[in-house]
Structure 1
Amino acid sequence: MEPQSWQDLFRNRQTNVEQAILNIKSSQKVFLAPFCNEPQKLIQELVRQKERLQDVILYNAVIGSPCIYADSSCYPYFQIRTFLSSPLLKGAFLHNTCDYLPVNLSEIPKWLTSQKIDVALIQVTPPNEEGYCNLGLSVDTVQTLIKSAGFVVAQVNRNLPFTNGDTLVHVSEIDQFVLSDTPLLTLSGGNLSEEEITIGGNVAELIPDYATIQVGLGKIAESILLSLKNKKGLGIHSGSISDPIIELINLGVVTNEQKEINRYKTVCTTLTGTEDLYRYCHNNPTIELYPSDYTHNAAEISKISNFYSINSALEVDLFGQINAEQIGKVPVAGVGGQMDFIQGARLSKGGKSIIALPSTAKRGTESRIKVRTSYVTSVKSEIDYVVTEFGFASLFGKSLQERAKELISIAHPQFREKLLAEFEREFMKKDIN
């Protein structure tokens, strides 16, 4: 019997969405392609079929997803395990149908190889002339997922960009295909506050020309990128890239000319932005996407000189401990790639790690700089700078007393006296001034 051509495989493995989701049984583990590549048509059908299921564990990493599987109507049927949380999961957390997995993004592929994932739900482009589909918006952990999952269902979506890097998946690696050109998940920036603009400018002062940077997501990250327009020869090696990076490339600010690896290439594991970003990256040879065990690998990052890791946080204590995950009972974010990139920056020749955050929360009624943090994501010995709208604190090589003095100086003025008094009462025998 002659082997099937890829065209025959692709045709014979096509099915409708209802039949595809019938492959999922009660008590199975189902991994959803993360971030904006979460396959919405498959998930909508999974939610529609929920009442035939019990105790299905859904693994996700939420950015951009509407999280319809976390609706209260789904509580009896799904248990969510998230690597990166969202306020949309709050109800499921409080109902005890969601739990948080604090795993660095670089290590999720390794974690996958130790698990028995029954079904993977992913999203790909139609195959090219050689029978290869493309992962489009996000590679992250999906290459490992495809190889390790018991059964792989792919939503085939012509709206996905065809991106470069380690993005190809042969049709023979996928068990079933569902054709559905649903709109892609997008994230757009909002209007920046004066405070956010100031923070972006303060961070930009720390970034030298020809550095390679990693920047997270959100309005602080957007402000930082928009503040870099006067820099020269920057490189990008990041977890995600968003729309402002297009402008930096078009202005000639981002050239990637000094990177020792992936020179002249903008590198990430996921695209997180608008349709403009997705169109820009379609068949663009200067943008490359790779799995997270490469993009977030500290050993690889260490090969890049002057690597600057720039992330945000929920709060920081007076010694420099960073909480980027949780305040109160419910995680609102996750470790993500923060520690991966911070460790890479520590190993990079000339590298620096920066944490940027507003000085206050809850509309100015609470300081984000605290005597103690409620949780610790990144430890004090790993952070070079903390930045607020009031400037930056330089922490590397500083004693605990010196760190406290630096951090109090960039707290909101209305909280500085209280922070100093609390620090002296709890940690000092004499005034630190």
Structure 2
Amino acid sequence: MDAQELYASKRMFADDAVRMLHSDSNIAMGMAVAEPPALLKALARRVEAEELERLRLWYFHSMNHAATSVLRRELLDRVRPHSMFLSGVERTLMRADPANGDSLVEFVPTAFSDSPRLLRDEIDLDACILMVSPMGKHGYFTFGTANDYTAVAARAAKRLIVEVNPLMPRVFGEAPLHVSEVDAIVEHRSDLIAIDAHSPSAEDEAIAGIVAGMIDDGACLQMGIGNLPAAVCARLEKHRNLGIHTELMTPALAGLMRSGAVSNLRKQTYPGRSTFTFAMGDAPFYEWLDDNQAVYSLPVDLVNDPRHIAKNDNVVSVNATLQVDLSGACNSEHMMGHQYSGSGGQLDFVRGANASKGGISVIACHSTAKGGSVSRIVPHLEGPVTTPRNDVHWIVTEYGAANLRGKSLRQRAELMIGLAHPRFRDGLAKAL
């Protein structure tokens, strides 16, 4: 059969497609914008009907489609979430049931770069369900906004079920998915999840000014999502010959590309193209991604591999943290005695930037939290170490920047106290 005939032979309704799934199985789910809403709702209906139980769901960064279907509290006795990065969905579940909160979700500590290997080699995947872009004339779907671990999990799973959304952008990249690799195809049009932009705070603006001043023409950028990275990007529009090699593609980075600041011509990997592994933004951003040859989507075990990152010169990695101790160690995932998010790709890019010729890694945070009542600079971390002190390069708060490389513990402590809010400095000094 040709591609169109294969497609037609595998097309079915969502309720029929999920009948391929069975109890006591491991299922990988598309993450973030690539959550497949029709498939997740159909799967939830089978669970509600007590046709399925003992499902182990593997994923990073869940969003609203999962929250309103398979990750509802009443289903969690039959669906066991195995999350490698907690989002607001899991935090809401935990807060709503504080007596059982930490037991509702199985948190699996995993570097984002290692998630494809985990799902391919360590987990016996029975199925993978995800959203893809429409099929091209030669029979290929693209992973759209989310190449990440799904490009690998899709091939590792015994069953692959895709939800084709005409609004999912077709994104050029490695490992496009051929129709012959798919077991079932469900067509469903749904608006892509949009991330609202917010105005940066005074602290964000101060930090952004410091970080932007550390970035030269020709640098290769990795930026996260949020007000602070967006404020940094807004200050770089007059730069020239920037490159982008980032875990996450955002509207702020797209705006930087449109400004003419990005050429990608000085990159050693994929010159001329901005590379990423997943994307989140708004509707105009998704339209910009569609059929855009200036961007290139790659699996996360390549994008986030420190050895691959370091092939580019002058990498500048900008990440956020929740807490930094006086030695420079960062806790970016644990808060108030509970797991808050996950390590994600932070350490991947810190190490990649550190190994890059001329590269720098920046960890940025506000000096305080909870309305200024709590210092983010602390004598000792209250959670796990996401980025070890051995790897930390620059720490930036609204009070300045400190290069910790080559500094002794006492020197580091003195620098960190200088980055703390003034009202906490005396207390931190006494902790020395």
TM range (shorter): over 0.9
| Mapped pair 1:33 → 2:20 | no
- State the secondary structure of the residue aligned to 2:103: coil
The correspondence for 2:114, drawn from 107, 112, 116, is 107
Identify the residue that residue 428 of structure 1 maps to in structure 2: none
How much does 1:275 deviate? 1.2
Identify the residue that residue 23 of structure 1 maps to in structure 2: 20
| Mapped pair 1:241 → 2:249 | yes
Query: Over residues 285-330 of structure 1, what are the superposed CA-to-partner deviations in whole Å (9 max), with x where a residue is unaligned?
Result: 1111100111111111111011111100011100000111111343
How much does 1:389 deviate? 0.8
CA distance in 2, matches of 1:95, 1:378: 23
- Matched AA of 1:59: W
Identify the residue that residue 86 of structure 1 maps to in structure 2: 87
CA distance in 1, matches of 2:390, 2:234: 29
How much does 1:71 deviate? 2.3
Identify the residue that residue 403 of structure 2 maps to in structure 1: 394
1:43-82 matched pairs, under 5 angstroms: 43-51=40-48, 52=50, 53-62=52-61, 64-66=63-65, 67-68=67-68, 69-82=70-83
Residues 82 and 98 in structure 1, CA contact (< 8 A), matched pair in contact too: yes
| Mapped pair 1:197 → 2:205 | yes
CA distance in 2, matches of 1:161, 1:88: 25
Per the normalisation by structure 2, the TM-score is 0.94
CA distance in 2, matches of 1:188, 1:290: 25
How much does 1:91 deviate? 4.9
- Matched AA of 1:406: L
- Matched AA of 1:297: D
Residues 160 and 184 in structure 1, CA contact (< 8 A), matched pair in contact too: yes
Query: Over residues 146-187 of structure 1, what are the superposed CA-to-partner deviations in whole Å (9 max), with x where a residue is unaligned?
Result: 111010110011111111111521000010001101111221
1:238-387 matched pairs, under 5 angstroms: 238-374=246-382, 375-387=384-396
Query: Over residues 191-232 of structure 1, what are the superposed CA-to-partner deviations in whole Å (9 max), with x where a residue is unaligned?
Result: 211111111111111112211011112222222222222322
How many residues end up aligned between the 2 structures? 420
Of the structure 1 ranges 58-67 and 267-276, higher mean CA displacement relative to structure 2 is found in 58-67
The 1:225–1:31 alpha-carbon spacing in structure 2 relative to 1, beyond 3 Å, is same
CA distance in 1, matches of 2:345, 2:205: 24
How much does 1:364 deviate? 0.6
How much does 1:398 deviate? 0.6
CA distance in 1, matches of 2:63, 2:200: 19
CA distance in 1, matches of 2:391, 2:430: 26
The correspondence for 1:419, drawn from 398, 416, 428, is 428
Which runs of no fewer than 5 residues in structure 1 stay unpaired?
Answer: 424-433
How much does 1:119 deviate? 1.2
How much does 1:70 deviate? 2.6
CA distance in 2, matches of 1:226, 1:128: 35
CA distance in 1, matches of 2:339, 2:208: 26
The correspondence for 2:141, drawn from 129, 133, 149, is 133
Residues 63 and 87 in structure 2, CA contact (< 8 A), matched pair in contact too: no
Residues 86 and 331 in structure 1, CA contact (< 8 A), matched pair in contact too: no
Which runs of no fewer than 5 residues in structure 2 stay unpaired?
Answer: 95-100
Query: Over residues 373-422 of structure 1, what are the superposed CA-to-partner deviations in whole Å (9 max), with x where a residue is unaligned?
Result: 12210101111110111111110111100001111101111111111112
Per the normalisation by structure 1, the TM-score is 0.94
CA distance in 2, matches of 1:292, 1:72: 30
The correspondence for 1:154, drawn from 159, 162, 165, is 162
Identify the residue that residue 97 of structure 2 maps to in structure 1: none
The 1:253–1:64 alpha-carbon spacing in structure 2 relative to 1, beyond 3 Å, is farther
Residues 14 and 177 in structure 1, CA contact (< 8 A), matched pair in contact too: yes
Residues 320 and 403 in structure 1, CA contact (< 8 A), matched pair in contact too: yes
CA distance in 1, matches of 2:321, 2:59: 21
| Mapped pair 1:185 → 2:186 | no
- Matched AA of 1:74: L
Residues 214 and 237 in structure 1, CA contact (< 8 A), matched pair in contact too: yes
The correspondence for 1:118, drawn from 95, 113, 126, is 126
Sequence identity (%)? 29
CA distance in 1, matches of 2:74, 2:235: 44
Of the structure 1 ranges 359-368 and 15-24, higher mean CA displacement relative to structure 2 is found in 15-24
Residues 310 and 357 in structure 2, CA contact (< 8 A), matched pair in contact too: yes
CA distance in 2, matches of 1:301, 1:88: 31
CA distance in 2, matches of 1:87, 1:219: 17
How much does 1:243 deviate? 0.5
